[in-house]
Chain A
Amino acid sequence: AQSVAQPEDQVNVAEGNPLTVKCTYSVSGNPYLFWYVQYPNRGLQFLLKYITGDNLVKGSYGFEAEFNKSQTSFHLKKPSALVSDSALYFCAVKGRSNDYKLSFGAGTTVTVRA
C-alpha cells in the first residue's frame, strides 16, 4: 500500500521568509510524487511533480521540491514566501504499477503573515 505523511497540520511564516512544507512517502518501488495547492473554496491546483532524474524539481509560483530517496521525502520549498501563498498544500504519491491511484497526504495549512 502507498501512503503519504505530512507531519505538520499548520506552517506559519512571515512574508519574505523561506517556506518549507514537509512530506514523506511510502510506496513499493520508485515513486511519482506531486504537490498540489488548494485555495479556499477552490479545487486543487498542480504545483510540481517528480518523475525521475534531477532530485530538485522546480514548479509554479516559485516553488520547488527536493526528492530524497534515502529519507523517502519530498519537501516543498519556496525561498521567499508571499501572503498570497497562504493556502492548503497537499503532497501525493503514486507507485509505478499499472494503476492510476494517487494517494494524498492530509494536507498542511500554510499561513504567511504580512
Chain B
Amino acid sequence: DTAVSQTPKYLVTQMGNDKSIKCEQNLGHDTMYWYKQDSKKFLKIMFSYNNKELIINETVPNRFSPKSPDKAHLNLHINSLELGDSAVYFCASSQGEGLLYNEQFFGPGTRLTVL
C-alpha cells in the first residue's frame, strides 16, 4: 500500500500552459505539504494544509494554487508555467494536531519539465 502517492510522476509541458499535480495520503494524517526541489537538490517548503486549512504559505508566485478537498488530498495547480518552474515537486504528510515533532512522510515526487 502506497502511503503518499502523487500523479503524475513525470510532467512535460510547454511554457504558458496550466497543469495540476495530485497528491493523496492513506495514513490518516491531518497535515499535508508541498515542497519544491530544484536542480541542485535544495528542498523548499511551498504550502501546508492542516485539516484543509492553509497554515504555511511561503513566498511562492500566485500562479501556484494549492487546493485541499479533504484531509487526504492536497493538489497543486500551476498557471502560466515558466521555465523556472521546472523542478521535482514533493508532497508530504504528517500527523500534526498538537504533535509538531512528528516526522513527515514523502511521496515519490513529480518531475515537472517546462519547455
Residues on A lying within 8 angstroms of B by beta carbon are: 32, 34, 36, 38, 41-46, 49, 51, 88, 90, 94, 96, 98-104, 106-107
The distance from the CB of A79 to the nearest CB of chain B, in whole angstroms, is 23
Q: A32-B100, A100-B100 are in contact. Are A106 and B41 (CB under 8 A)?
A: yes
The docked-state distance in angstroms from the alpha carbon of A14 to that of B107 is 31
Residues of B within 8 A of A (CB): 4, 31, 33, 40-45, 48, 50, 55-56, 90, 92, 94, 96, 100-101, 103-109
Q: How far is the CB of B87 from chain A (nearest CB, A)?
A: 14
When the two chains form their complex, are residues A51 and B101 in contact, meaning their CB atoms are under 8 A apart? Answer: yes
Task: Indicate if the CB atoms of B42 and A106 lie closer than 8 Å.
Answer: yes
Chain A residues within an 8 Å CB radius of B92: 43-44
Is the pair A43, B109 in contact by a Cβ cutoff of 8 Å? yes
The distance in angstroms between the C-alpha atoms of A107 and B25, with both chains bound, is 25
